[in-house]
Each structure stands twice: as C-alpha cells, then as structure tokens.
C-alpha cells in the first residue's frame, strides 16, 4: 500500500501569491495536466509555471525552497504517469531561453526544452549523423538525457558529452557542468537525482551525407510506426528490459497482451506499451501496471521494473 502524500496547503498558497506577483503571465493555479502528458490523464497541478529564462527559474526555485514544496520538472510529459488527484506542488516547465540550438562543426549545444524532433531536424540540416534514432521518440532533450532514452541500437549516452545542470539546493555554485562519466549513464538511467534540472547538453555527432541521414530517419520512423501504437495516447515503453529478456515478450507470453483495466489496455501491437483507449484514468493505468508485474512475476519469477515515472498520489482507498 502506498503512503498518502501530505499536502502543504499553506506553502502552496504563499508560493502562488509570490509567483503571481513576480511573473503573473507565466503562472496558472490548479491547471489540469491531462493535456501536458502523452498518456492524456492526470489531475491538476497546484501551481504550473513556465520559466523562460534563468532569472525566472531562480524566482521559481526560490519559492520551492522557501516554502518547502515538492516540484515536478516537466518536459513534454512522455515517460510519465500523473495521478488522478494531480500534483500537490509546483510543476515546472522550461521555455524560450532553453529551446535554443547552436551548431559548430560536428558539435551541437542545445537547451533542455528542445524537442527531440527539432534536434534531429537540425542535425539533418547540418548533415550531422548520430541523432536519427530519436525520430519518433516524444519528449525533450533534457528528459531524454535524464533517463538515457534510446532505441534498440542507440541511446543518448552515445552522443552526450557534457551537460549543464541547475542545483535547486545550493546557490554556490548554482550551475554545475557534468561530463560524460559524471552523468553516470546506465540502461535507461543516469546517476542524476530527481531534483536535478538539466538546462542544456553538448552533443558530439559525426559528419555525414544528408541523403543517407534522411533515409535512416525515415527507416527509424517506419519501424516505430509498424511496431509501436503511435496513434494512441501512451507513455512509451512501460517497463525496462530485464537483463537477457525483452519486457514485451515476457508480457505477451504471460498472456497480458490486450488485457484491459477500465480504459487502459496493453497494446495489441507491442505488449510493453499501455494505451489510453479514450476514457482511461491514471488509476486504471496504475492498476494495469501492477497486474502485469504480478502476472509476469508469477509465471517467470522476473520482477519487471517500470521505465516510466509516477507523479502524485496513487494511494488505493
């Protein structure tokens, strides 16, 4: 049983007052989050705020620290399940200043809020190879780096050389540069804490032929379209692949392909995807995840580990 989350209502109210005075156009109270994640589920954020600059980020982090509030760093909302009750704290999204891309020879420096699609298109424009694998992956660069997102062949650790992060707990230094080793890349993971805010990343790519790169991008897109339920709301792969196994195959062989809980269903196209058929709740998806884990564990002895993050309260009444 999950422990209920305590709500700091006084802190939320005071933080909202401060942020509405200092950056009123960037703040929303009790904002529904279903349209801000790829599952299309989830309740409201107590405070939703966009930081378009480092100055605005400093203001927001000041409120987080002064009022001891939980925060959720949100990119495009892929790889994420937000509870039906929403998020009792500050949901933070990076904006304009963090959407820039600069290219010098075979190196690219990009802000954390740049979408992976925009990143791949920029690489193609400059005839740089190494980013074709991100085509079809929803989300932003910052989120992709944080979980070492990838495909069956490549992952972010292949191209990321350095990142700039923002430390919400310390002012000196506030901005910290981490090299490849310090990031601590692993399979769909890094050593970065959940409190780490990635601001930008330096990528090292390879000079290539634009025609070849474009064909590779098209091939990767077709592969994802054929193998994955891209037309339905989902969060991407739900579970990490256990060592030596494919999670999708384990789920399918355990008889869970096509299983439903409410409006949530294990995709008939790829068993490691759960789709929202149109009226799913976050709790439907959560319960289906638990059923899959129990079934696979019962039949194979293998405990599937989730790849997606969960935010909010999933306490069962």
Mean pLDDT of the chain, nearest integer:
94
Q: What is the pLDDT of residues 123-135, one digit of tens each?
A: 999 999 999 999 9
Candidates 78, 157, 237, 281; catalytic one? 237
Using the Cα atoms of residue 114, residue 120, residue 123 and residue 128 in order, give the sign of their dihedral: positive
Q: What's the whole-number mean pLDDT along residues 31-38?
A: 97
Best CA proximity match to 90, nearest among 139, 114, 57: 57
Query: In this model, does residue 248 exceed pLDDT 90?
Result: yes
Query: In this model, does residue 54 exceed pLDDT 50?
Result: yes
Fold of 231-311: 3.90.78
- Confidence class for position 1, pLDDT limits 50, 70, 90: very low
Candidates 132, 254, 281, 307; catalytic one? 307
- Confidence class for position 174, pLDDT limits 50, 70, 90: confident
Query: In this model, does residue 2 exceed pLDDT 50?
Result: no
Residue 32 to residue 28: CA distance in whole angstroms: 10
Fold of 9-97: 3.30.43
- Annotation marks residue 188 as catalytic: yes
- Confidence class for position 138, pLDDT limits 50, 70, 90: confident
pLDDT of residue 317: 61
Residue 249 to residue 16: CA distance in whole angstroms: 47
Q: Where in the chain is the domain with CATH 3.30.43.10?
A: 9-97
Q: What's the whole-number mean pLDDT along residues 7-24?
A: 94
Three-state DSSP class for residue 227? helix
Q: Where in the chain is the domain with CATH 3.90.78.10?
A: 231-311
Q: Where in the chain is the domain with CATH 3.30.465.10?
A: 99-226
- Annotation marks residue 237 as catalytic: yes
Instruction: Report percent pLDDT > 70 for the chain.
Output: 97
- Annotation marks residue 307 as catalytic: yes
Candidates 132, 157, 188, 200; catalytic one? 188
Q: What is the pLDDT of residues 190-204, one digit of tens each?
A: 999 888 999 999 999
Contacts of the segment 171-175: beta carbons below 8 A, 24+ positions apart: 174/58, 175/199
Query: In this model, does residue 277 exceed pLDDT 70?
Result: yes
Contact criterion met (CB below 8 Å) for 295 and 271: no
Q: What's the whole-number mean pLDDT along residues 91-117?
A: 97
Instruction: Select the CATH number that applies to the domain covering 99-226 from these four: 3.40.640.10, 3.40.50.360, 3.30.465.10, 3.40.718.10.
Output: 3.30.465.10
Query: In this model, does residue 242 exceed pLDDT 70?
Result: yes
N-terminal to C-terminal alpha carbon distance within the chain: 10
Residue 296 to residue 187: CA distance in whole angstroms: 21
pLDDT of residue 195: 85
| Neighbouring-strand partners of residue 115 | 140
pLDDT of residue 271: 97
Instruction: Report percent pLDDT > 90 for the chain.
Output: 89
């Amino acid at each position: 049983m999950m422990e209920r989350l305590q709500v700091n209502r006084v802190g939320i109210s005071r933080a909202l007052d401060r942020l509405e005075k200092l950056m009123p156009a960037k703040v929303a109270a009790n904002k529904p989050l279903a349209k801000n994640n790829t599952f299309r589920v989830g309740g409201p954020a107590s405070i939703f705020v966009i930081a378009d600059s480092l100055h605005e980020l400093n203001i927001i982090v000041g409120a987080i620290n002064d009022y001891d509030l939980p925060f959720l760093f949100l990119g495009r909302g892929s790889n994420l399940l937000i509870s039906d009750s929403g998020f009792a704290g500050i949901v933070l999204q990076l904006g304009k200043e963090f959407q820039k891309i600069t290219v010098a020879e075979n190196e690219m420096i990009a802000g954390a809020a740049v979408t992976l699609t925009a990143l791949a298109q920029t690489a193609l424009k400059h005839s740089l190879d190494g980013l074709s694998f991100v085509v079809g992956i929803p989300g932003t660069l910052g989120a992709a780096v944080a979980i070492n997102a990838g495909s069956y062949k490549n992952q972010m650790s292949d191209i990321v050389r350095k990142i700039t992060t923002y430390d919400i707990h310390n002012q000196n230094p506030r901005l910290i540069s981490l090299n490849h080793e310090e990031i601590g890349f692993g399979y769909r993971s890094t050593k970065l804490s959940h409190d780490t805010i990635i601001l930008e990343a330096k990528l090292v790519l390879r000079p290539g032929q634009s025609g070849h790169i474009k064909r590779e991008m098209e091939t990767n897109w077709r592969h994802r379209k054929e193998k994955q339920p891209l037309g339905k709301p989902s969060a991407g792969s739900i579970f990490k692949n256990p060592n030596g196994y494919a999670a999708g195959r384990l789920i399918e062989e355990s008889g869970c392909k096509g299983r439903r809980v409410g409006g949530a269903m294990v995709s008939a196209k790829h068993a490691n995807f759960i789709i929202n058929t149109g009226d799913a709740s976050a709790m439907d998806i959560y319960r289906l995840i638990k059923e899959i884990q129990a079934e696979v564990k019962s039949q194979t002895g293998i405990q599937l580990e989730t790849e997606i993050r969960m935010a909010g309260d999933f306490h069962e009444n």
